[in-house]
Structure 1
């Protein structure tokens, strides 16, 4: 049975799962509760030979699973038997940025599985369906984890060589990015004693179909590269950026005044650059530790503005970034969703999937600037009420965990800045 975080009732969209085991993975075999059969297949009994349904129907099922948008089900289908694998496309035969095989909506939870189960086992959560999967990822050994990207890829930093890598945790495909040494200046070496601190990743995602963009926060650099490139292309260096994210295949970031996008190509053949798509309604104050956070809500680029006035007052304003009109449009609430914001990442979830999470509420991560005595969480935007955080005896990464321990705490940790794995 796949556990559903926060579930209080059975969902009609999921079914009972039988787990079979072969030498590849634990394989969920899904059986529909509905009478209709979209593939016009006869009903198979439990002891029937599914491997012999034929390449045509099996290939059609594989195409349907891939088009449905969750590559996890597609990988489970391929793991059933050799016949099903040869009639479906192998994800590893394509580039790691192939959008068909990206683990959209899957995030790695911060709490590790029990060590006796497997030292490399991690739990992943689908923020769209609420399903979880446990995966063995020995690729994490010797790496710091700065994940995930907007598309679900994990960004790994080799602690010995400082090589940056992308890992698709579902397909287990890994790809090296160009050497990071080309991004370092003498001033950077004087400011930071640790090489790992130099390359702290604070946002990564697609800049176009073939290019990954990375925001290196401590060296104030946004750079792009294609897997296999010999070196990075610096888009901007020296500016102060807030956490960045990919939206509809393009890379966006915010400054104290603007929301900007990485433009990788242009008609006049200019080099990659940052282009303003909308100006903030007014500049925000770094001195007061104001923060803004970009998040995708139902296909709309939303900015959550968190204002700190130096006292016990925290004000939250929400805007839609209108990419056509190139302006910020104030909106009320979050369209019935909840948003979790941290210094490096923001994500939205639906209370219909996680019933314990409140609609139109902002939940804070556990970054240092969001754990002050006046930073209460969640904040209910519709009526302005807040709920206090209570300290708990447990901790993750040496930082306190707050109670009650539920899905909201797990999601708050997911948006908190990553350290070592």
Structure 2
């Protein structure tokens, strides 16, 4: 359950309609205009022996759930009884990058849970397509820096003692070690690093192909790829200044100061993995300015949001579709009725039909240092050019504003904020 506000604008509401709660924490809910009709439980036989429904029907149900695209429902199906697990495929019996079992659309919220002896590693996850939430106990996070999630929903973990990277599927609990990062670090990197783990700040990770994971290591300016089980990383590019990176339709894209590029892992002439230009930017990107660009998936289209800052109170947002066939940037108006949350490293889009408190065709800013300036307002409404001022509390964490209780837009703004911002 998440906070929902009845009207999109203005963002205030004076009448408390309802309070719902999940398994532990009570969260304010604001009822939307139309409520779904209740499920007619009379349609189901209460006395049926569902555990012995048979491998054929149970297997068919499992296949349908898996094809529906939400691995959480499939995991719930397998958890019912031993007979249902027997007739369905175990996700952990396959590779962690198997696309059938990826937790797409699930993100881990950044809220601080009250820890208890029974569940010290409990985290809450949100499905950005449906609005559903789940609480999961993940002891695998102990002693780990958490980066991500990737576009496919996987978490990237960095062991704070050994600097070993791991991939974790939070819903299946499947974990895989990645190769040692020793071949990625130079003596020059070591001389400038305050500590070893700071070298491996991850600003983007995702599929480069069906079997390969690509990672953008920001502080050593490196994009590298590997496969779970490989002995080492393969460097794709090193030394370039990369902007946000993400996976889209099973390929890994990143923006440079001049273009949107893609990691090419295979070729007919057996060339090594390399970056190829997907589309050139409409203007060169200046590192000296506070401008930022952001890649995001909107309705299976690769979209680039260009945020221009001229040093004063002027902020301008332009939106482009990356035409991967014509290899060009196509200006578009609005966001197709969706809202986009952008941070310096991550971005995601959600539908106001799922989150009624979120405004359509609006851009919400994360809490990264480059997006919390005196002139940065959020949200920004693209269709009429207006923006709403942010309301900051007198309290902060690491210089970042604190909102309590968090509404859904603040939850999502924290999700796109860099994972080294506490």
Q: Tell me the TM-score normalised to structure 2 length.
A: 0.90
Question: Which residue of the partner structure matches residue 79 of structure 1?
Answer: 79
- Provide the C-alpha distance between the structure 1 equivalents of 2:334 and 2:43, rounded to a whole number of angstroms: 46
**Partner of residue 359, structure 1:** 360
Paired residue for 1:182?
183
Match of 2:278 in 1: 277
Is contact 1:163–1:176 with CA below 8 Å preserved after alignment?
yes
CA deviation digits over 1:126-158, x for unaligned, max 9?
000000000000000010001110100000000
Q: Per the alignment, in what secondary structure is the counterpart of residue 375 of structure 2?
A: coil
Please name the residue that 2:265 is paired with: 264
Match of 2:39 among 22, 33, 38: 33
Matched-pair contact (CA < 8 Å) for 1:96–1:175: yes
Could you tell me how far 1:48 is from its partner in structure 2?
3.1
Aligned residues: 394
Structure 1 portions without partners, runs of 5+: 10-17, 20-31, 36-41
| Partner SS, residue 277 of structure 1 | strand
Are residue 105 (structure 1) and residue 105 (structure 2) matched? Answer: yes
Q: Deviations over 1:11-47 (max 9, x none)?
A: xxxxxxx99xxxxxxxxxxxx9379xxxxxx954334
CA distance in 2, matches of 1:46, 1:132: 27
Post-superposition offset of 1:274? 0.1
Asked if 2 retains the 8 angstrom alpha-carbon contact of 1:303 and 1:318, the reply is yes
CA contact (8 A) 1:112 1:121 kept: no
Deviations 1:283-303 (A, max 9, x none): 122111111000000000000
Provide runs of 4+ in structure 1 moved above 4 Å.
Answer: 393-398
The gaps in structure 2 that reach 5 residues or longer are 8-21, 24-37
The within-5 A match list for 1:6-21 is 6=4
2: CA distance, partners of 1:398 / 1:327: 39
The 1:373–1:207 alpha-carbon spacing in structure 2 relative to 1, beyond 3 Å, is same
Aligned to 2:220: 219
Kept in 2: contact 1:389–1:402 (CA 8 A): no
Given the superposition, is the C-alpha separation of residues 46 and 98 from structure 1 closer, same or farther in structure 2, using an over 3 Å criterion?
Answer: same
Number of the residue aligned with 2:144: 143
The aligned residue for residue 95 of structure 1 is 95
Contact 2:201 2:218 in 1 (8 A): yes
| Equivalent position of 1:301 in the other structure | 302
**Aligned ranges 1:288-327 → 2 under 5 Å:** 288-327=289-328
Report the equivalent of 1:245: 246
RMSD: 2.1
Q: Distance in 1 between matches of 2:115 and 2:394?
A: 21
1:210-254 per-residue CA deviation (whole Å, 9 max, x = no partner) reads: 000000000000000000110000000000000100000000000
| Residues 203/361 of structure 1: CA separation in 2 closer, same or farther (3 Å cut) | same
Distance of 1:388 and 1:324 partners within structure 2: 39
Q: State the alpha-carbon separation in 2 of the partners of residues 34 and 259 from structure 1.
A: 50
CA separation of 1:91 and 1:394: change in aligned 2, threshold 3 A: farther
CA distance in 2, matches of 1:353, 1:397: 32
CA distance in 2, matches of 1:205, 1:390: 34
The TM-score with structure 1 as length reference comes to: 0.90
